[in-house]
């Protein structure tokens, strides 16, 4: 989605930080071998995630939805030297692909993969987090929020992806469209929950940054 005219969008990308070479390799292989490569965060959103993580300098990061690990590596750039990133995904076929690129990076020893349903895995994580990135199945966004909010440290950040959902959030709602309804409910929750303050960024398919008070 282009919220800006394409030429202006290109100018923004060209005057932002360059994409690291390892992530360029990851992108190429994802497009060559993996279904739905459009799910990648992409170079511009990746630099936004990297910048937010570097500004926060988190001790612990939680990511829900790994895909091929692009966003994981972007977020890991801001980790403290002894920090950890825990990433959760249900797709076991991508586990080794993710690990290959994690281990090629300087953050491999700090990234821990969890395979399975995030609803089941989140309660087992005996940690609190400074930064949480949600980019998983939309119908569970509200459930994920309720599971992670108490694991988020005061001043911690939640970044939520796809909150504009291809523009469907402003279109008439199809009663059968559970994903759009879930995104609408989630966006309302982030706006109204008194424990957080939230701003929506019109980046790619929409990123929300929420800070715990």
- Residue 1 confidence (pLDDT) above 70: no
Residue 1 lies in a domain: no
Burial of 108 (0-12, 13-18, 19+ CB in 10 A): middle
Residue 206 lies in a domain: yes
Find out whether 31 and 23 touch, Cβ atoms under 8 Å. Answer: no
Tens-digit pLDDT profile for residues 69-116:
999 999 999 999 999 999 999 999 999 999 999 999 999 999 999 999
Question: How far, in Å, CA of 210 to CA of 213, rounded?
Answer: 9
Number of domains in the chain: 1
Specify the long-range contacts of residues 8-17, CB closer than 8 Å, at least 24 apart: 12/44, 13/43, 13/44, 16/44, 16/47, 17/47, 17/50, 17/51
Question: What 3-state DSSP class applies to 126?
Answer: coil
Residue 185 lies in a domain: yes
For tokens 């400074």, the residue is 130
Write phi, then psi, for 125 (nearest 5 degrees): -85, 110
- Residue 189 confidence (pLDDT) above 80: yes
pLDDT class of 3 with cuts at 50, 70, 90: confident
Tens-digit pLDDT profile for residues 138-159:
999 999 999 999 999 999 999 9
Tens-digit pLDDT profile for residues 18-33:
999 999 999 999 999 9
Residue 75 structural domain: 6-212
């Amino acid at each position: 989605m282009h919220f800006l005219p394409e030429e202006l969008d290109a100018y923004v990308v060209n005057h932002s930080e360059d994409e690291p070479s390892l992530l360029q390799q990851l992108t190429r292989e994802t497009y060559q071998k993996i279904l739905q490569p459009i799910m990648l965060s992409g170079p511009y959103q990746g630099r936004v995630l990297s910048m937010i993580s570097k500004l926060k300098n988190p001790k612990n990061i939680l990511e829900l939805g790994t895909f091929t690990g692009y966003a994981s590596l972007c977020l890991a750039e801001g980790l403290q030297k002894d920090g950890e990133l825990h990433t959760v995904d249900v797709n076991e076929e991508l586990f080794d692909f993710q690990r290959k690129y994690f281990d090629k990076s300087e953050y491999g020893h700090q990234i821990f993969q969890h395979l399975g349903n995030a609803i089941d895995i989140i309660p087992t994580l005996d940690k609190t987090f400074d930064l949480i990135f949600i980019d998983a199945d939309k119908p569970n966004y509200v459930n994920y929020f309720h599971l992670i909010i108490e694991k988020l440290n005061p001043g911690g950040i939640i970044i939520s992806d796809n909150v504009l959902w291809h523009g469907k959030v402003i279109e008439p709602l199809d009663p059968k469209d559970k994903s759009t309804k879930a995104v609408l409910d989630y966006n309302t929750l982030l706006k109204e929950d008194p424990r957080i303050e939230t701003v929506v960024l019109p980046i790619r398919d929409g990123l929300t940054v929420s800070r715990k008070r």
